[in-house]
Structure 1
């Protein structure tokens, strides 16, 4: 039978008394009015991850990102000096979207020397400078230096590309991330470049879906059918409690031990897992990635399962002990809808067997994620009914308390500053 870890002595919630222990409200997840303020207070002020440097490895490589929550589209591009730039995806002439393919609402990527507007052929270089205007002599005192692309604050940490939509960011990126996140520096993200991605439109508030991955209390119940019956029964009877939770500024961490699946009784595994030597926890033949950063596995679990780092507001880096990692993004599109993006990263496969093992791990986690999404749509429906307005949270759900409190604090801070208080 599998063994399930128990937490350290004491209450995690007691470590953060400012969060309280009372039942919580989810008004912040059903109110259109709150959402409108949240867009400005959170998403136009926080650093937001929009991708990784491997998406634009060479000069002129670019991708676009559609960000409805801040009502814009951006271009992210690598310039001739190797720097990553970000710009609003709008031509300065008549406001046409500058970079798009067949559907102007869809994201795109490619390589170019200059960006050329489809409407009147104005051109911009990789640093956003306006370099050519069709029939320039027809304009009145046009100074091309004043009509470059509108930049977006952009910075890179450990290969992750972040942008900030404030006029001036309140903190540099690394300061915003803080010591818990920067404790990951040195993890070989750049060596894990075999990527599998999926995207889903979810009819639930973005915070409710984030909540689903901030605790494992639900796993033995919601995901029971994804495991062999013998394992699921043992998990449901034992329950699950992660051995470590941490809060650092606006960010959160849940860390847990794991299981060596290949050492379990064969009745506890699926046949496909034995065939592919892989599954939910990743390929069994994990790579040797060398010494891990001090910020990983803070509870010193053996075996170690995973660390889920939740970067405020909407980005998760989930690092598995088996030598791979996941990222999640939750992009709001309204007060009760959002786009969920999941990506799994592995070392480049050395053989067809490696590739199949990676694909099974990615597909397994996609199935788990979609189960969560389906449940959260049911949650959204009933929370919006208003017949219940306070919900009790247990000690394992301390990170949920923090996310909703942190969001409320950002909104309150924004409103105070806007009022000049």
Structure 2
């Protein structure tokens, strides 16, 4: 993995010359036709994280995932079989197409444990492996072969406890797709951090715009100044913010920065509540005593900075993992539902608390994070409204916004490659038809 120092202004972006330094075109965030192409070119062809392995603690454990980003109405069942293998299936009965697994409201996700899946409509049954095992009044059908009517499977692989699916049968294996950045953090003790706080909201902006907000810290001294004491906010605003390290690897990227030490070097920069509970936006200050935090994987803190605080990994298209120095992690996901809307999901993962004070410290971190996220979301809806006017469609990005530049180029490259592939298919088909004639 190549690491590029920053000897002069602009060198991060210039270390990747194919990115260029021109203003970036944001029309892809306002064009409905381009959004439809992103669904086909990106979300139907890349690995998508759908959850953690802890949600499937035993045989027959399952949960459903609604994925309109792939195609409107797409719903999956994720289940652990008797052999311990995690599988994914389209959530659709092979009889008349009813949604197979749901509770009171068909459009809401659900979870549970079962021995088999039974359709609510006509009681067709399917095993945990997806095989059709029972047809009500089977004799009424005509020469039916149950082995041909199992649930439709979706590629499913697990990496470091994260469950991924891919709708493209020809896509490369998950480990290869995640590449060096994924390899570099293997061994991090994700499995120890099972206390989870989650948020989910519909945001009125294109999915890439919210990712933009969380792949740079250029905005932090201005937008989030209310989260600091007055004196510290003035100091940070005056000097600005610069991260320690930026890196691009294929479609993925990482930004590494200071902050999050436990406790902060200057206790005057945080609020009295933070000092009382020894917690805040950077998470609980007291690092948990578990294996794997003293000797971190080589991809964590790639700059080897003594005051390192956070690594934010962006796994294209829509999955972000943030590793925090005090010993917890955070995930973001962005699921587009329209060109100007998406579902934002965030989860904070901690080692289970041992007492009430540790629990309150985790809850304070979760509440503080929510305040930051609301500030970002509110700003982005204003951004979407304005760029939607088309008055301006190309925007300047500074060197600290290299991950934004990379994200928009990567998304556009996927669409361009998809269009080329489809064009080649059409040309080959025309040639074949001509040859036949």
Task: State the TM bucket, normalised to the shorter chain.
Answer: over 0.9
CA contact (8 A) 1:261 1:269 kept: no
1:20-419 paired onto structure 2 within 5 Å: 20-71=20-71, 72-166=74-168, 168-258=169-259, 260=261, 262-288=263-289, 289-419=293-423
Distance (Å, rounded) in 2 between the aligned partners of 1:160 and 1:33 = 32
Superposition deviation, residue 266 in structure 1: 4.2
Match of 1:4 in 2: none
Distance (Å, rounded) in 2 between the aligned partners of 1:169 and 1:320 = 35
SS in 2 for 1:49: strand
Distance (Å, rounded) in 2 between the aligned partners of 1:274 and 1:43 = 43
CA contact (8 A) 1:154 1:162 kept: yes
Describe the superposition over 1:228-281 as per-residue Cα deviations: whole angstroms up to 9, x where unpaired: 111111110110010100000000100011254635444322111111110011
Of the three residues 7, 10, 32, the one matched with 1:9 is 7
Distance (Å, rounded) in 2 between the aligned partners of 1:265 and 1:293 = 28
- The list of structure 1 runs, each at least 4 consecutive aligned residues, that deviate by more than 6 angstroms after superposition, is none
Match of 2:428 in 1: none
CA contact (8 A) 2:261 2:325 kept: no
Give unmatched runs, 5+ long, in structure 1: 1-6
SS in 2 for 1:69: coil
CA contact (8 A) 1:98 1:116 kept: yes
SS in 1 for 2:395: coil
Describe the superposition over 1:355-404 as per-residue Cα deviations: whole angstroms up to 9, x where unpaired: 11111111111111111111000000000011112111101111111101
Distance (Å, rounded) in 2 between the aligned partners of 1:123 and 1:321 = 48
Superposition deviation, residue 420 in structure 1: 1.2
Distance (Å, rounded) in 2 between the aligned partners of 1:90 and 1:63 = 14
Distance (Å, rounded) in 2 between the aligned partners of 1:242 and 1:418 = 40
Distance (Å, rounded) in 2 between the aligned partners of 1:239 and 1:261 = 22
CA contact (8 A) 2:156 2:164 kept: yes
Superposition deviation, residue 80 in structure 1: 0.4
Distance (Å, rounded) in 2 between the aligned partners of 1:154 and 1:180 = 20
Superposition deviation, residue 170 in structure 1: 2.2
CA contact (8 A) 1:8 1:243 kept: no
Between 264-273 and 110-119, the greater mean CA deviation after superposition: 264-273
Distance (Å, rounded) in 2 between the aligned partners of 1:222 and 1:334 = 26
Between 307-316 and 264-273, the greater mean CA deviation after superposition: 264-273
Describe the superposition over 1:63-110 as per-residue Cα deviations: whole angstroms up to 9, x where unpaired: 000000112000000000110000000000000000001000000000
Change (3 A) 1:173 1:266: closer
SS in 2 for 1:306: strand
Distance (Å, rounded) in 2 between the aligned partners of 1:109 and 1:170 = 28
What's the C-alpha RMSD, in Å, of the aligned pairs? 1.1
Distance (Å, rounded) in 2 between the aligned partners of 1:132 and 1:170 = 33
CA contact (8 A) 2:260 2:325 kept: no
Q: Are 2:424 and 1:420 equivalent residues in the alignment? A: yes
TM-score, with structure 2 as normaliser: 0.93
SS in 2 for 1:398: helix
TM-score, with structure 1 as normaliser: 0.97
Between 180-189 and 201-210, the greater mean CA deviation after superposition: 180-189
Describe the superposition over 1:37-76 as per-residue Cα deviations: whole angstroms up to 9, x where unpaired: 1100000000000001001111000000000011200000
Between 354-363 and 336-345, the greater mean CA deviation after superposition: 354-363
Distance (Å, rounded) in 2 between the aligned partners of 1:269 and 1:256 = 18
Distance (Å, rounded) in 2 between the aligned partners of 1:263 and 1:47 = 37
Corresponding residue pairs, total:
414
